[in-house]
Structure formats: C-alpha cells, structure tokens
Amino acid sequence: MRVRLRSSLFLTLILVLLTTRTAPAQTFASFQRDTTVRLTDSTAHRGFLGTPWSERRVVSTVLSVLIPGSGQTYLGHSEKGAAFTLGTIACALMAGLSENNIIGRNERITELKAQYQIATNYIGADTLWSKMVSTKDLLDQNVKRRDLFLKLTVAFWVANVVDIVFFSDDKGEKPFGLRETGRGTSLAIVPDPKNGVNAVLTVRF
Amino acid sequence: MKKPTVFSVCVLSIFLYLFLEGCTEPEDLVAPTHFTRVPKVQNLQGTIGVTPTGKRQLLITWEYDTMSTNLRSWDITRNINDTTIANFVPLEIIRKPARGYPFFSDTSATFQSAFMATDSLDVYYRVIPNGITNNFVGQPSDVLHMIIRRN
C-alpha cells in the first residue's frame, strides 16, 4: 500500500512538473481572451519562463499549489475555489483523524503486547489476545480509511492544479465582494494607494 | 518568475515528503503463544467403579502431549450439582508422571450411597495444566460431567 501511494505521488509530482512546463503553450488561447489582465498587468509582455503567462496566472498557480482552490478564487472563480479548498481540507482532515486513530491504536497494541508477554495464565492471555485482535481490526480499518482519504486529498490537489493551469480563465482583477452583480448586499475590501484599504458596503436593488 | 516556481516545487516536495513519511505504519500482532505454552488436556474421561474396600470410586483420566517439556502438574477442580465455572473447587494437584498418563481417583464420602441425600448427584470435573516456565497456568480442559446414583 505504501509503495503504491509513493509511486502515485511521484507520478503526481511528474505530472505537475510537466503541466507547469507545457501549460503556457496550451493556455495561449485563453490568454488572448484575458484582456483585463493583458491591459493591466505590465508583466504580461515579459511572460513566465519565456511564455506569455501573466503574473496573475503565475501567482494563481503558485497559490493553488500551496492552498488548493486559492488560485481559482484569486482569478475570480469563487465557487470553484471554495469547492477545491473545502474538498481538500475535508479529505486531509479525515486522513489526519484516521492517522491520529492509527497512532492511538498502535500504542494500545504495544501496551497489550507487553501485557500479553508477561501474562501468567491462559485465561488472562486469551483475553488480552482477543483485545489485540479486535484492536488490530480497527487499526486496519483506520489504515484503509487514511489511505483512501490521502488519495482523495492528492486527487483534489492534482485536479486543482490541472484546473488552474488549463481550465481557469482570469476574470480580471476586481475587489472582493464587487464581483457579483445580482441583487443583494455585499461588503468589499478595496485597496487604496493613499489610505491603505477601504471597506465598501454595496446594496443593489 | 523563477523564484515562485522554485519555491512552489520546494513546498511541493516538502508536502509530498510529509505525506509519505508522516504515515504511521500499523503495528503487527505477535504470534499467539498462549495456546501452546502448556500442553492441553486431551481426551478427558471418567469412570465410576468400586475400590477393593467397597468404596465408590470416580476415576478421571486424561492425556497430554508428552513431547512438551513445559508441564509441571495439573489442578483437579470439582463442582457438584452446579456448572458455574467460578464455583469449581480445587481438589488436588497431580504431578506429571515419570511415565504413562496421569489419573485422579475420587473416593469422597459425598459419593457413597450411605451419605447421599438425593437419588443422584451431578459431578463436574475440570483439569487445569500448570507449566514450568513462568508458572504459566494453561488452558483448562472441557468440563467432564458424571452422574452418580444411589444404590
């Protein structure tokens, strides 16, 4: 199981490195549509590693690599970004909880083993053995659950990286909260060169 | 733009390393030894007979793996008209014989017709082997049930 997990993670790493290198050629078409960035981003002409990637796209990719979904949110895909972030965090949390259970059950088995070795009668030893077997069953379930959620976490992360590289267009730089144009109330934090940050409350009828 | 890429690859490597090395290996179980530490009581049998002096005698015999050296003695426990395991009373310790199989002869006054208050008695025996290493008390035998009737 560990070897398979390791090989899958190595494949993931290779995939990510390959996509990072090949992505610019494939995203050139989307770059053409990305007029907001092209007009506002002075680094767009320099490109990323000799390719026409804007700085916003590079930043979003780095953000997504570090925190899944954050790059999508940065480019304006809030719902998709939130889905990636929550999905990854939920899976990682489940994997972490299972890992915690594994550590606890390992300690329990070690303790039971020590008691089993010094048991002085069959009945006591058999009771300890039954406890060890049941704890081992639970431990194996925890290991399966941890491996499953680890794989899901990696899958979310890989999907997030592939999405940010190939499928997420830049919606342009807009202050948080002003992106939605429907009815309702929103609070925006707008950077201000003079005052630092302005908070804008908008009510649309 | 190279710095963020190098930085992200470094972070990714650390992330993968933590993912791999952070996983705890599950503990394996030890091989169960308590079943075979002390040889089991096998083929436990009982017969009702009479001694040359005319007393009623319950003869208990059993077998064991004579190849095993970790055996010192057997505890004979008995219960009358009661099958509760906790109520079995230790009667005698039978040492491992130098040759042949062990036996236990019970000629208690309780079983003599003159002393029996009821028409019959249900007698239960259990034999428990004792090992030499760590004085390990082995697996108790199955319960042997014998019925004694008044003459």
Is the ipTM value over 0.90, yes or no?
Answer: no
Q: Judge whether B31 is closer than 8 Å to chain A, CB to CB.
A: no
Q: Is residue A132 part of a domain?
A: no
The number of distinct structural domains making up chain A is: 2
pLDDT tens figures, B46-60: 999 999 988 899 999
pTM of the predicted model, to two decimals?
Answer: 0.67
Judged by CB atoms closer than 8 Å, whether chains meet at B4 and A58 is answered as yes
**Tokens 């470094």 correspond to what residue?**
B10
Query: Domain residues of chain B, as ranges?
Result: 42-149
pLDDT tens figures, A69-97: 999 999 989 899 999 999 999 999 999 99
Top mean-pLDDT range of A23-27, A32-36, B95-99, B137-141 = B137-141
Beta carbons within 8 Å of A91's beta carbon, 6+ residues apart = A149, A150, A152, A153, A156
Residues A44 and A93 in one domain: yes
Identify the residue among B21, B29, B40, B71 best suited for mutation to test binding to A, counting A beta carbons within 10 A and taking the highest. Answer: B29
Q: Is residue A126 part of a domain?
A: no
Instruction: Out of A9, A61, A125, name the one closest to residue B16 (CB).
Output: A9
- State the alpha helices, DSSP H only, in chain B: 2-21
Judged by CB atoms closer than 8 Å, whether chains meet at B2 and A9 is answered as no
Which residue of chain B is at minimal alpha-carbon distance from A20? B5
- Strand ordering across the sheet containing B56-63: B42-50, B56-63, B103-106
Query: Containing domain of residue A185, as a range?
Result: 175-205
CATH superfamily of B42-149: Immunoglobulins (2.60.40.10)
Q: Is residue A190 part of a domain?
A: yes
Q: Measured between alpha carbons, how far is B125 from B122 in angstroms, rounded to an integer?
A: 10
